[in-house]
Amino acid sequence: MGRAETSATVRGAVTASGVGVLELDRPGALNALDLEMARAIDTTLRGWRQDPAVRSVLVRSTSPKAFCAGGDILAMRAAGLRGDDAAVRTYFSTEYTLNALVARFPKPYTALVDGYAMGGGLGISVHGSAMVVTERAVLAMPETAIGFFPDIGATYFLPRLPGAVGWYLGLTGVRISGAAAVECGLATHYVPAADLPALEEALTGADGGAPDAVLERFAVAAPPSELAGHRAAIERCFSAPDLAELRDRLAAQTGAGDAADRAWAEDTLAVLDRASPMSLELTFGLLRAGAGASLAECLALELESACRTAREPDFHEGVRAALVDKDRSPVWAPRP
């Protein structure tokens, strides 16, 4: 492979067959996307976009546990606490610019997700032309649990998922399997983890410029997912016009339907009760606005919302409870 832009945590190289391979290599942080990584990926992709020798792009992780477990939210909390608005805006602007670059990349862009892909990890995978998941994949937008909101273009792609699933994922932050990601349309292909080495070899070999045919050869039908039995209840409850009605529908579901749906509704209400009330209100409004907006409009609104939210006590408290003290017991600010 020929070398391209590199950093301590991102390696870019082009194969003899013209495939640009991006490797995320920050395993100790589960490839959490910091500013250096975002800039390195952006620079590499811009170079490959202009290079006629690069026919397609493949993004992978060197970590056995994660593709990318999110953004550098600890750094954003620290910046918010010290009032460094410029640092906050620089980080989120860089990340969202990268998301837009992936979405409009003019060549095939395939992400291999084997392990965790959360928050920022979805931002550099779901916007591409193909997103492969395995039975070890775990996907989530868990921001309402830390006083934030689903960003990285999620306010665009979540409300477009069928059957109100996107509203469910965005408001609850629930983790879903690779099979569920394919079922609801977040991911495009399901490939067993044991077949990934052969898939990578095929994608970077002579057929690398035509990844669609390679992916069709390796993809298998995903097994039934954890979402399958609750799709009707999800649509019924999360299509509500506001949060109050959503809670009312979930409460009604706890006493109706089969035992599985009743238990699901009880668990879902408990998740919402633990989330930041500010985040739930903000997320609901952004998803509603995003349903009728372009990706560019969603990212612009997310940027302004992120810069404001980084100053909020709920964000500081949520990240403290989840990632600093790790007591999982945030004390949210009362809502007016």
Q: What is the reported pLDDT for 155?
A: 98
CB atoms within 10 A of CB 263: 12
User: Catalytic residue at 255?
Assistant: no
User: Which element (helix H / strand E) includes 85?
Assistant: helix 85-103
27: which 2 tokens? Answer: 């395993």
Contact between 303 and 284 (Cβ < 8 Å) = no
268: which 2 tokens? Answer: 């879902």
Q: What is the reported pLDDT for 208?
A: 65
Point out the catalytic residue in the list 151, 200, 261, 312. 151
- In one-letter notation, the amino acid at residue 327 is D
User: Catalytic residue at 120?
Assistant: yes
CA distance 319 to 182: 30
Q: What is the reported pLDDT for 291?
A: 97
Point out the catalytic residue in the list 12, 18, 71, 80. 71
Q: What is the reported pLDDT for 4?
A: 47
CA distance 275 to 290: 21
Point out the catalytic residue in the list 143, 261, 312, 317. 143
Contact between 91 and 113 (Cβ < 8 Å) = no
Chain length of the chain: 336
Point out the catalytic residue in the list 120, 123, 153, 166. 120
Torsion of CA 66, 300, 189, 145, to 10 degrees: 50
- Is the sign of the CA dihedral 163, 278, 145, 23 positive or negative? positive
User: Catalytic residue at 143?
Assistant: yes
Q: Which residue has the tokens 């408001």?
A: 171
Beta pairing, strands 116-118 & 66-68: parallel
Q: What is the reported pLDDT for 210?
A: 84
The domains of the chain, with CATH numbers, are 2-324 (3.90.226.10)
User: Per residue of the chain (336 residues), what is the pLDDT tens digit?
Assistant: 444 455 678 999 999 999 999 999 999 899 999 999 999 999 999 999 999 999 999 999 999 899 999 998 999 999 999 999 999 999 999 999 999 999 999 999 999 999 999 999 999 999 999 999 999 999 999 999 999 999 999 999 999 999 999 999 999 999 999 999 999 999 999 999 999 999 999 999 876 668 999 999 999 999 999 998 899 999 999 999 999 999 999 999 998 878 989 999 999 999 999 999 999 999 999 999 999 999 999 999 999 999 999 999 999 999 999 999 999 999 999 987
Contact between 67 and 125 (Cβ < 8 Å) = yes
For residue 60, give the 3-state DSSP assignment.
strand
183: which 2 tokens? Answer: 């079922």
Q: What is the reported pLDDT for 36?
A: 93
CA distance 108 to 100: 15
